Amino acid sequence: MTKDYLFSVIIPHKDSTTLLQRCLDSIPKDDDIQILIIDDNSQNIDRKNFPGNDRAHVKIFFSDIQLTAGGARNKALSMVSGKWILFSDADDFFTSNAFETFRATISNQYNILYYKVESKYSDTLKPATRHLGVNKMINEYEEDANILRLKHIVPWGKVFSAEFIKTGKFKFDEVPASNDMMFGLKTGYYSSQIAVVHHVVYCITMKSGSISNTLTKTNNRSRYQVMLRANLFLREKGLHKYQNSIRPFVFNALKFGVLEFIDSIKLLYKYKGDFFYDFKFGRVVTSFFKLKQKEELHKKYIKKKE
């Protein structure tokens, strides 16, 4: 008989067992917490001594084909036995009091609860800045709830009702990058009741080699297409003002050659996107210099590949 848990924690993993162990160590060894680890065809790992093998209530699935992070998360969703679902990346971790906070704040009236997060550099654990945007949306929730619902698209830092996820049949895109955007957008949009909690429960890390820190032609195109689809969804729902700028992806496409740039323009027309949406010269210049400043600050962790 399948055991019912209070929480199911979903962790996709690829080639980072040391960091995965750190993540697991941040989750209490409680009987009501199920942990689902989906290994996305990692190379040169010891399956017998894989993190979590020696721990109760941990289920590990090893894929012999590449699933992508989205595919790994979808696989885990089919295995969930908990009433509430949490997501973690293998290179991140929960704060020391996270699950106490979850227990104290979950309520059947909510589909999603949003929490504050912190960020650190993975190798040094010194403070980073990746959390600032997320916490700003939490702080400004009362001013415009749609910003949180429609723009806080990452799955971590949230607790989801499993019934809501299963009934809505929400899935992650099985794409090279930005697998979580449509999941985050649609769950936020369709949720009838949400809550914000001003407690830090999760630590995002800055790590060299992660998908978010690696610019490739494939990743840029994937992010661009997903963003175009997200903007189309928002326009169809009459939420034009919450669209996101696609200009950075077009400029990145140019870095990979004229043909890639031409393809990016074709995609723009296919999805009826607006290159000049929310274009303000002063803001564009400011954003450009902020991006360059950010790249310089994080250059040790950011990689570009052809």
Residue 303, both tokens = 């990689």
Question: Within 13 Å and on the Cβ side, how many CA atoms surround 278?
Answer: 13
List, for residues 160-179, the tens digit of each pLDDT value: 999 999 999 999 999 999 99
The residue type found at 120 is K
Torsion angles phi and psi, residue 85, rounded to 5? -115, 135
Q: Which domains does the chain show, CATH number per domain?
A: 5-207 (3.90.550.10), 216-304 (no CATH)
The residue type found at 171 is K
List, for residues 218-230, the tens digit of each pLDDT value: 999 999 999 999 9
Do residues 106 and 197 touch, judged by C-beta distance below 8 A? no
| E strands in 14-165 | 33-40, 58-63, 82-87, 93-94, 112-121, 158-161
The residue with tokens 């991006």 is 291
Overall pTM > 0.75: yes
> How high does pLDDT run on average in the chain?
90
H, E, C per residue of 218-280: HHHHHHHHHHHHHHHHHHHCCCHHHCCCCHHHHHHHHHCCHHHHHHHHHHHHHCCCCCCCCCC
Q: What is the number of other CB atoms lying within 10 angstroms of the CB of residue 8?
A: 24
The answer on pLDDT for 125 being more than 60 is yes
- Given pLDDT bands bounded at 50, 70 and 90, which one contains residue 286? low
